[in-house]
Structure 1
Amino acid sequence: MIKYSEVSHIDSELLADPFWIDSLSKVSPEHTHDFYEFFIVSEGSCKHIVNGQTQLLGPGCLVFIRPQDTHKYERNEDGDCCFLNIPCRISLITEAFAYLNEVDYTDGLLNAPIPPIAMLSQLEMDGLIRHFDRFRMLSSTNRARARIYLKGILIDILTQYFSTSETARQPEIPLWLEYAVSKMQSKENLNGGLPVLYKLSGRSVGHVNRAFRQYLQQTPTEYINRLKLNTARNLLLTTELRVIEIALESGFENVSHFYHQFKKFYHQAPLDLRKNSHVNRFLQ
């Protein structure tokens, strides 16, 4: 079993070391570590095998890993996953819990059998990622200010996203729901939309809708739209297909609806995202 150490992985002055993982081909095999970490899934989906159980993760999932957790990542069908990883020194988390001074809350987060998950909206996820981008920028110019800024981010994360008992005791996703969600990753099933999802679940429409709210904190329609938009984004960044072709390839029958949903989700038009991506690659 691989075990990572905060001494070798996290700057003792900055207390955290955020970094991006852009593919599951670059993640470590099953491992543990003597520090805490958060990670945010920004694109794609994956299976998170932790403490012998499986968590199905998608965009917006924020996970809190404790030192006693043993985990690894696996591909979900043929998909891939991109996420921001934030290793944190034990002293940083201990100080945050001492500041909050809530024993039951702390025990709920630290002693749950599997790590708690918070489901962030697109705006919340983008905002949190921007905060860590700013922390990384400050860490190269003013380390003391960066450390103070980091502590503020951490308190916000704990109070906004992990402050409820429901979050601290994240229920295990039932196998039928994991199966249905996994199968929806394929193009054929995704293009079939809600009827295919309900058929794959083998449950009533009402039962499926309630399960999505309970376990994934979103509706089936929101989940399918996210998958379609994520597919469209990947095609925009990796191909030269026209927008109308990408819309159809991603399962949108109405191009106008695709434009509206894409701009609402990513806060920019499809071609603007492609253009900005090309500019950023040129500047790197």
Structure 2
Amino acid sequence: MVQTLYHKDILQNRAQIHLTRATLTPQRPKALHTHDFFELFWVQNGQVRHHLPDRTDTLDEGTVCFLQPGQHHALQGRGEHALVVSLCIHPDTIANLGKRHPDLQGHLFWSDAKIALHQRDIRQLATLNHAAVLLERSTCTALHAEAFLLPLCADLTSDIQPKDAPAWLAQACQTAKDPAVFREGSAGLVAITGKAHPHVSRSMRKYYGQTPSDFINNLRMTYAARVLITDSDPISEIARNVGIPNMSHFHKLFRNAYGLTPLQYRHKYQHELVQPQG
């Protein structure tokens, strides 16, 4: 018989979210369970076996799992130090977020699938854990629930990769957002894949609809645009920092991306917003 967990038994005193930390035993679960709330959990340490009606997945440290109500599942530790952090979230909180933020539709809790998985690296996992500590110290009202969920959801939905892209390529494209990588151009992207340039190029065209150079240059121009309006670095220095010391080439790429020269862009979106001259 499948056990059902109910949010009314877990969320007390106006709480809209409840956080639990647990070390999982290595014994295989006797049965699956389900729940009427949204569940978010991540593997804090070790590995976890995630039992589902049709399969069992192995989740590594840093895996974040979004589960919708009604999903049957069970967790099992793999080894002696499997630790998970689990959140029970009131359905109203998720419904309200979805209504106010259309960009969430189709992703995470709001996807057509009952389960959504994402991977966090060491730095991202540290950020997630810091947010969890702040949540633990709160009264877990709707305000605190959203303060925890919104930054995570915004971060994850900004990193959505093509569904069919191979894991090695999706991970490389994510890592390429680091200036240390895109500064090296398309060669930097290819290097972190560990694969041959022609294979990476074909895969990028197939799954992302662009060449490695186009992908990297988009990252470079996005970064440059952000620095132009948040700092006062000389434009020549910004160009060098994104790996394009040739100023003519940098200006051409930037104008193609934003329709303005870097100086015009800085003036419009930095100086004119803070100190308009009329």
User: What secondary structure, in the 3-state scheme, does the structure 2 residue paired with 1:52 have?
Assistant: coil
Distance 1:25 1:34, change over 3 A: same
Greater CA drift, 66-75 or 26-35: 26-35
Hey, what's the Cα distance between the residues in 1 that align with 2:164 and 2:89? 22
1:92 aligned partner: 93
Instruction: Answer yes or no: is 1:32 the counterpart of 2:34.
Output: yes
Distance 1:107 1:129, change over 3 A: closer
User: C-alpha deviations, 1:161-198, integer Å up to 9, x for none?
Assistant: 2455548x59999xxxxxxxxxxxxxxxxxxxxxxxxx
Amino acid at match of 1:33: H
Amino acid at match of 1:36: F
1:151 aligned partner: 146
2:49 aligned partner: 47
Q: Cα distance, 1:160 vs. partner?
A: 1.0
Amino acid at match of 2:143: I
Instruction: Answer yes or no: is 1:119 the counterpart of 2:114.
Output: no
Equivalent runs, 1:183-194 vs 2, <5 Å? none
Tell me, yes or no, if the aligned pair for 1:40 and 1:60 is still in contact at 8 Å: yes
Tell me, yes or no, if the aligned pair for 2:66 and 2:108 is still in contact at 8 Å: no
Distance 1:138 1:72, change over 3 A: same
User: C-alpha deviations, 1:191-233, integer Å up to 9, x for none?
Assistant: xxxxxxxxxxxxxx959xx9xxxxxxxxxxxxxxxxxxxxxxx
Aligned CA-pair RMSD:
3.2
The number of equivalent residue pairs is: 169
Hey, what's the Cα distance between the residues in 1 that align with 2:69 and 2:9? 15
Hey, what's the Cα distance between the residues in 2 that align with 1:90 and 1:29? 24
Amino acid at match of 2:15: L
Hey, what's the Cα distance between the residues in 1 that align with 2:86 and 2:108? 23
Distance 1:151 1:48, change over 3 A: same
User: What secondary structure, in the 3-state scheme, does the structure 1 residue paired with 2:106 have?
Assistant: helix
Equivalent runs, 1:260-279 vs 2, <5 Å? none
Hey, what's the Cα distance between the residues in 1 that align with 2:80 and 2:45? 10
Tell me, yes or no, if the aligned pair for 2:47 and 2:61 is still in contact at 8 Å: yes
Hey, what's the Cα distance between the residues in 2 that align with 1:74 and 1:29? 11
Hey, what's the Cα distance between the residues in 1 that align with 2:165 and 2:69? 21
1:2 aligned partner: 3
2:83 aligned partner: 82
Tell me, yes or no, if the aligned pair for 1:46 and 1:79 is still in contact at 8 Å: no
Distance 1:14 1:75, change over 3 A: closer
User: What secondary structure, in the 3-state scheme, does the structure 2 residue paired with 1:111 have?
Assistant: coil
Q: Cα distance, 1:51 vs. partner?
A: 3.9
1:110 aligned partner: 111
Amino acid at match of 2:38: Y
Runs (4+) of structure 1 moved beyond 3 Å? Answer: 25-29, 106-110, 162-167, 169-173
Equivalent pairs: percent with the same residue? Answer: 12
Tell me, yes or no, if the aligned pair for 1:36 and 1:88 is still in contact at 8 Å: yes
User: C-alpha deviations, 1:110-130, integer Å up to 9, x for none?
Assistant: 322x51111111121122122
Q: Cα distance, 1:22 vs. partner?
A: 1.6
Distance 1:165 1:28, change over 3 A: farther
Hey, what's the Cα distance between the residues in 2 that align with 1:108 and 1:38? 9
Q: Cα distance, 1:150 vs. partner?
A: 2.2
Distance 1:130 1:165, change over 3 A: closer
User: What secondary structure, in the 3-state scheme, does the structure 1 residue paired with 2:40 have?
Assistant: strand
- Structure 1 gaps of 5+ residues are 174-204, 211-284
User: What secondary structure, in the 3-state scheme, does the structure 1 residue paired with 2:136 have?
Assistant: helix
1:179 aligned partner: none
Hey, what's the Cα distance between the residues in 2 that align with 1:152 and 1:18? 14
Tell me, yes or no, if the aligned pair for 1:61 and 1:120 is still in contact at 8 Å: yes
Q: Cα distance, 1:106 vs. partner?
A: 5.0
Greater CA drift, 117-126 or 28-37: 28-37
Instruction: Answer yes or no: is 1:160 the counterpart of 2:155.
Output: yes
Hey, what's the Cα distance between the residues in 2 that align with 1:130 and 1:7? 27
2:15 aligned partner: 14
* TM-score (structure 2 length as normaliser): 0.52
1:200 aligned partner: none
Tell me, yes or no, if the aligned pair for 1:105 and 1:163 is still in contact at 8 Å: no
Amino acid at match of 1:133: V
- Structure 2 gaps of 5+ residues are 168-193, 201-278
